[in-house]
Structure 1
């Protein structure tokens, strides 16, 4: 008894180690996708470009420099004015530049959340493609095993035919089943190539690169309760975060628009080059003149423009508030559907596992019965088809459950 317990415990530990290794393989593929995927790189560069807008909008406008040359010098007490230099700097209303920076920063953060959402989506696609590749591998393996079983039936039927205890129809029926399965196997092999290419394209690597999948797929669970999970989605979903940053950007845009409608100040320096007046005895004869400062005010009198800027920002805020509410409604519906798929996967795993075990027992009994009295051959083939169906459905349920859990990770931004 103790020996059996040790064997079972050792097998359990071995299975856990295999699951851990397989998950490490998948984690490695996710890292490769995050580093290599060209679409993800494009979105990250969009974010970096948006960040470069912050110093652009937060900087004072360029100063204005003007040079004037007097074709006919203007005579003054200290000499003729020959040329004039003017340097002028404009200063917007207090806080306008920081408000513009806040707008650009929030829009850049929105771009970053779009990038993170795309990364989560690619992770989901990689996981789903990985699970599908596992399924097609298992489908090929199961189909080959069933073909081997049918080959045994075929040899058994030939023996019965030679002994005169069975009809040649039995052998032809097996032949039909084998042909169907071989055709299905060819489709699975073609599908495997398509899945391999899709998976490797997500990682942006060679189409023929090897994909390592486990012998048995682990079952991924959803960690939180249903209500808590929905709250987590609302708090962590990157699409909602992106909308929130846009909303903050338009709030700051309204502030900036109000400050745009306030006066701007201009401070300047004038420098005049003065020539010598030979008739003057003044001590500052021919001395250049520096005038500092010259101060001006730009008065925004055309108010329709600034009122329109404020209303634009307010309408955009209302649009983002509505968009956020709509997105939460969509996510709630998607979550419920995903949760249903997850639970359905759990039920199908248990059901098809039980059905496979029962079908195997029935098939063993029928094979023994057929080998002794050549009856129930049609039932043998029918149960064999059911066994194939249950085994395939069991593996499909595993992949569907894990795909639902992977989509749940995407919804919470993982």
Structure 2
């Protein structure tokens, strides 16, 4: 438990270097790192793997044997009463070191699995937080548009009462308001689902208010496309885990070869001699040393063990190539999403400015000339659409950046 708390401290130090604008999000990333059960499970698997090194890197347990002679064997010194034996096996030189090195490399591979779990968790937290931000902004934008329509409704009622326009204008606005109120109810229901999902990522059972900035930042990726692809190949945790698994196989190949070499055993025997006819007190006899040799005669077994590891190494090479291809495909799609979101932000910022100006002009024409009411409703819909699309583009852009950082192993 202390180890994971130390790791969390490094996470906090890493997040502290991020921009001040992302403080709200950083707070949730820290909470997820501290509380997420999947992340804790992955870290404990790594800690468990670290314990394998001392297990495989030590000598086999010595063997002790005790024999009692029910019918003592008579010797010239007296009868043999019992016998004690102690034996220690010694594998071929370097076998234990190779086993320990293989276990260490496997533990390192599991650490990369832990890092992958952490990066994936952070990406999921960010993606869900961006979805929550957009849904919250969509709710506020819908409320603002309902207020705008209610203002137009009051203006239309005045004109209908004055006989300047048809009552249809009032009814059209009411229908638009009803549509928006239905969308608003759906957004609020969706907000509840998103908050439950988000709190589960944090492993937080207490329902709390999730905070957002008034406007989402629009930071860009600070790397070129080529630099990102290089980073993916060198730092992606899935690829690093495969590399370490292959490194472990290299040591396992050494183990397989060394197991085909002889092993040794050393031991001592202690024999207790009792009182015999020719002596008064008996005499103990100790025979040492006892040397044993295990000769691996069945060579096919050991050759097969080596060949098995060679096939597994080749499989890891193919697995890495396949993973690189998959990651590059995923990155290209994410890069496309990032560039598309960047373009959409510029587009909808321009469209939104024009729509606001147009709506003001149409409102003035309707107030003084009683015309273009249908254009007012059409422009109000565009205003709502561009507002929503702008916030969606901002959220999509940051989500694409977060996913690209995840692919880069950040």
Q: Quote the offset at 1:20 in angstroms.
A: 5.0
CA distance in 2, matches of 1:254, 1:100: 10
Question: What's 2:247 paired with?
Answer: 248
SS at match of 1:115: helix
Q: What's the TM-score once normalised by structure 2's chain length? A: 0.94
**Distance in 1, Cα, partners of 2:36 & 2:340:** 32
Matched residue, 2:161: 162
- Number of matched residues? 393
2:364 to 348, 353, 368: 368
Where does structure 2 lack aligned partners over 5 or more consecutive residues? 1-17
- The 2-side partners of 1:150 and 1:210 are apart by 29
Match of 2:334 in 1: 338
How does 1:349-368 map onto structure 2 within 5 Å? 349-368=345-364
Across the aligned residues of Structure 1 and Structure 2, the Cα RMSD in angstroms comes to 1.3
Asked if 2 retains the 8 angstrom alpha-carbon contact of 1:33 and 1:204, the reply is yes
Shift in Å, 1:260: 0.8
Deviation at 1:246, TM superposition (A): 0.4
8 Å CA contact 1:234–1:240 kept in 2: the answer is yes
Deviation at 1:335, TM superposition (A): 1.1
Residue 320 of structure 2, aligned match among 324, 328, 344: 324
Number of the residue aligned with 1:257: 256
Equivalent runs, 1:77-96 vs 2, <5 Å: 77-96=76-95
**CA–CA separation in structure 2 for the residues paired with 1:280 and 1:318:** 71
Alpha carbons 1:22, 1:213 under 8 Å: kept: no
Aligned pairs for 1:102-251 (under 5 A) are 102-251=101-250
- How far apart are residue 278 of structure 1 and its match? 3.2
Query: In 2, are the aligned partners of 1:80 and 1:277 still within 8 Å (CA)?
Result: yes
Calculate the TM-score normalised by the size of structure 1: 0.93
Where 1:239 maps in the other structure, the secondary structure is helix
**Kept after mapping to 2: 8 A contact 1:272/1:288:** yes
Is the contact made by 1:58 and 1:101 (CA closer than 8 Å) also made in structure 2? yes
User: Is the counterpart of residue 286 in structure 1 residue 285 in structure 2?
Assistant: no
**Structure 1 runs, 4 residues or longer, greater than 3 Å off:** 19-22
In the other structure, the counterpart of 2:52 is: 53
1:255-304: CA deviation from partner (whole Å, max 9, x where unpaired): 100001111101111000001223248xxx62211111100101111222
In the aligned structure 2, how far is the partner of 1:205 from the partner of 1:164?
A: 59
C-alpha change, 1:211 and 1:22, in structure 2 (3 Å) is farther
Distance of 1:238 and 1:101 partners within structure 2: 23
